[in-house]
A and B are shown apart, each in its own frame.
Chain A
Amino acid sequence: MSIEFKNIVKTYDQSPVLESINAEIANGEFFAIVGPSGCGKSTLLRMLAGLIDVTDGVIKIDGQTVNNVPPKDRKLTMVFQDYALFPFLTVEENIAFGLKARKMPETEISQRVTRAVDMVGLADFRSRKPKDLSGGQRQRIALARAIASDAKICLMDEPLSNLDAQLRDRMRTEIRALQRKLQLTLIYVTHDQIEAMTMADHIMVLNDHHVQQIDTPLGIYNHPANEFVANFFGSPQINFLSGSYKEHEREIVIDTKLRLPIQNQLTKENYLVGIRPNQLDFQIAKNNGGNASLTDLTNLGSQTLLTARLDNGQQLRLTKSEQISMPINQRIDLHLKGQAFIFDPEKKNLAAVSVGVDHG
């Protein structure tokens, strides 16, 4: 089942919520919609489900326009943030609810329910009520309901946001495995960039009523379309520094020692430079030389987080995948070892990529 959004617009009382949304989702794809809260991602999902009508544009499922098709005929299921479980029904009855409403024969209902509870490991809890189960188990009921419906499109609205961190990790893997096994086309809404990065085949980044970028997780990480995307993905967060363009040298200069070579011609004087913390490296400077001093250092065991202040006052974070001990205020020589993104200062979009030189 493929899905297509064509020029989707949504307004509430004349104020725009979503503008010109375009996307194509292939059959069997895990498609994540990511953005900060209030960016309209849940609205988009609900428009696809048919719970909210579209102000303008076309939604197609398998090539068929579904704008006027009621939710129940769109052949999809949805897992809600609060799981939408009926508190007065048992696990089993919750899973069977929709099937019963559709007047499916009893034997088929019980077959499907059994298959679904087995798949999510709730077989022993069939006749319990949701309130007697833990958060993770409730989440699984919601998943089982989606499985039992046999629809090939599944929508999930922040399904893991009510779970604790450890459980979230585990459910991520489980949902991913389930999606592959059942060959679902899964649309997954989340505000958590890590969830999107680890699970999705493709990610749509939404912000400010607009699609910022649609790409694979690595595509988004390695080629962020603009400042927002670069800032939203990656942890620890990317550094933003200001640099000036030297046309003659084809360089962006942050300070005298942090000069970034670029390939293409630029037009403006000042640019915003985004450098991920793991793309920076340093050496201990001799004789109080160097271009920065260390302001903070945190050892996490497998890696070390450092913050440093450039001599021109700009702060930045960097990570090293080794354990380091160094005194605060240590003078260091900072340089780029990997990529840096050059963003247009007004339009905020990606203008160039600089590849640094690893000094070893």
Chain B
Amino acid sequence: MENLTQWTANRKFWHYALLIILSFLILAPFAIGLWTSLLPTADISSGHLFGGSISLDNYWAALTQTPIIRYLVNSVLISLYTMLLQLFFCSMAAYAFVFINFKHRDFYFYLVLSTMMLPFEAEVIPNFQTIKAFGLLNSYTGMVLPFMTSAFGIFMLRQAFKQIPFELKEACDIEGLSHWQFYMKCVLPYSRLSLYTLAAYSFLSAWNQYLWPMLTTFSDNIRPVQVGLRELQSQETFNNWGMIQASAAIIVIPTLIVLYFGQHYFKSGLNEGAVK
């Protein structure tokens, strides 16, 4: 009995050791970044990472001397617009694929699905020209317009809507509800969870956009934060590491908080995307 207990205890110890080492590896870049963001740049440059004074000066500098707040606001607005529009258009399209009977429905569905095979990265040249022709370069509209719908979103919501019992539709038909009313009053509330998941995803992917805003934004008034940091890195004294780390921290902390509370939806979204 004792041997077994001893053995279990040992195994537990090694297991915790492994978990802690792995956590340390994952967290190290965060920790290093956050720690250096608290140090004076002179200390960082001369390699005095410990023992010096720590302060929030870099944060203050980043907030007052750089347009980081403006970048953040731009990013939040762009991501929010993209998210709302995607929820709306994707759910409408998914509704059509599940509840409306029309000719060549399958053809349209595969047409939509096929766009998942075409990477946006390979189409930036004509899209750039299109947005330029619309006169929408360097504008929120130009940033959001190409991403107002997504094949992934349509596909995911279609799977979700298919779970709605068709009897519900028949009951609403008997009550005389139109498609629009059924969509608003039944389908959307019924699939709330999937909509939250799509919301999380579309927000996050808009937030992480890089190539498109880099090509189409020229001023700090429009520039979202990903490209904004690039701008800081190249324009500002490249060696002001303290301030750059502080800017990175300012950006990452809110997303970590959102992620912490949104965990559940991300996870259920993964399952829907991966399993169904």
**Complex CA distance for A253 and B189, rounded to whole angstroms:** 61
Whole-angstrom CA separation of A215 from B123 in the bound complex: 78
Q: Does A111 contact B (CB under 8 A)?
A: no
CB 8 Å contact bits of A56-68 with B (1 = contact, 0 = none)? 0000000000011
Whose C-beta in chain B lies nearest to the C-beta of A65?
B1
Within 8 A of B (CB), among A33-78: 53, 67-68
Contact with B along A180-193 (1 / 0, CB 8 A): 00000000000000
The answer, yes or no, to whether B4 is at the interface (CB within 8 Å) is yes
When distances are taken between beta carbons in the complex, the residues of chain A under 8 Å from B1 are: 67-68
B3 contacts chain A at the CB level, 8 A cutoff: yes
Q: How far is the CB of A56 from chain B (nearest CB, A)?
A: 10
Give bound CA distance, A53 to B3, whole Å.
Answer: 13
Bound form: Cα–Cα A53–B2 in Å: 13
Chain B residues positioned under 8 Å from A68 (CB to CB): 1, 3-4
Residues of A within 8 A of B4 (CB): 53, 68
Nearest B residue to A53 by beta-carbon distance? B4
In this complex, what residue of A is CB-closest to B4? A68
* Chain B residues whose CB sits within 8 angstroms of the CB of A53 once the complex forms: 4
What's the minimum C-beta distance from B8 to chain A, rounded to whole angstroms?
A: 8
Query: Shortest beta-carbon distance, B246 to chain A, in Å?
Result: 45
Complex-state Cα separation, A68 to B4, whole angstroms: 7
B1-60, CB < 8 A from A = 1, 3-4
CB distance from A357 to the nearest CB of B (A): 58
| Min CB gap B68→A, angstroms | 49
Docked Cα-Cα span, A249 to B58, in Å, equals: 98
- Least CB distance from B135 to A in Å reads 57
Q: How far is the CB of B275 from chain A (nearest CB, A)?
A: 14
- Per-position binary interface string of chain A over residues 154-195, scored 1 when its CB falls under 8 Å from any chain B CB and 0 otherwise: 000000000000000000000000000000000000000000
Q: Which residue of chain A lies nearest to B7 when distances are taken between CB atoms in the complex?
A: A68
Across-interface contacts of B3 in A (CB, < 8 A): 68
Residue of B whose beta carbon sits closest to that of A68:
B4
A315 → chain B, closest Cβ, in Å? 38
Docked complex Cα distance between A53 and B4 (Å): 10
| Bound: A266/B3 CA distance, A | 53
Within 8 A of B (CB), among A66-121: 67-68
- CB nearest to A54 among chain B residues: B1
Q: A68–B1 Cα gap in the complex (Å)? A: 6
A67→B4 CA distance, assembly (Å): 10
Q: Return A50 CB to nearest CB of chain B, in Å.
A: 11
Chain A nearest Cβ from B256, distance in angstroms: 32
Per-position binary interface string of chain B over residues 175-213, scored 1 when its CB falls under 8 Å from any chain A CB and 0 otherwise: 000000000000000000000000000000000000000
Bound form: Cα–Cα A67–B3 in Å: 12
- Provide the residues of chain B in CB contact with A67, threshold 8 Å: 1
> Given the complex of chains A and B, what is the CA–CA distance between A68 and B3 in angstroms?
9
Bound-state Cα–Cα, A118 to B16, Å = 48
Q: Could you give, for residues 62-78 of chain B, a 1 whenever the CB lies within 8 Å of some chain A CB and a 0 otherwise?
A: 00000000000000000
Closest chain A residue to B2 by CB distance?
Answer: A68
Q: Look across to chain A and name the residue whose beta carbon is closest to the beta carbon of B8.
A: A53
| Assembly CA distance A68 to B5 (angstroms) | 10
Distance in Å from the Cβ of A131 to the closest Cβ of chain B? Answer: 15
Give the CA-CA distance A171 to B3 in the complex, in Å.
42
CA distance A108 to B1 in the complex (A): 36
Q: Which chain A residues (259-284) contact chain B, with CB distance < 8 Å?
A: none
Chain A nearest Cβ from B130, distance in angstroms? 48
A68 to B6, CA, bound (A): 12
How far in angstroms is the closest Cβ of chain B from A70?
9
Task: Tell me, in angstroms, the Cα distance from A252 to B249 when the chains sit together.
Answer: 82
B10–chain A nearest beta-carbon distance, Å: 15
Instruction: Quote the shortest CB–CB distance from B11 to chain A (angstroms).
Output: 13
Closest chain-A Cβ to B2's Cβ sits at a distance in Å of 9
Q: Smallest distance from the beta carbon of B146 to chain A beta carbons, Å?
A: 42
Nearest-Cβ distance from residue A248 to partner chain B, whole angstroms: 59
Question: Among residues 75 to 90 in chain B, which have CB atoms less than 8 Å away from a CB atom of chain A?
Answer: none
By beta carbon, the residue of chain B nearest A69 is B4
In the complex the two chains form, what is the Cα distance from A67 to B5 in whole Å? 12
Question: Which A290-304 residues sit within 8 Å CB-CB of chain B?
Answer: none
Bound Cα distance A268, B4 (Å): 51
Q: Kindly state the separation between the CA atoms of A53 and B1 in the bound complex, as whole angstroms.
A: 10
Which residue of chain B is the closest to A70 with respect to CB atoms? B4
- Name the distance in Å between B90's Cβ and chain A's nearest Cβ: 33
Q: Closest B residue to A67 by CB, please name it.
A: B1
Complex CA distance for A246 and B4, rounded to whole angstroms: 59
Q: How far is the CA of A53 from the CA of B8 in the complex (A)?
A: 11
- The smallest C-beta distance from A34 to any residue of chain B, in angstroms, reads 30
Q: When A and B form their complex, which 5 residue pairs have the shortest distance between CB atoms, in order from nearest?
A: A68-B4, A68-B1, A67-B1, A68-B3, A53-B4
**Chain B residues in the interface with A (C-beta under 8 A):** 1, 3-4
Sample (5) of A-B pairs whose CB atoms are under 8 Å apart: A53-B4, A67-B1, A68-B1, A68-B3, A68-B4
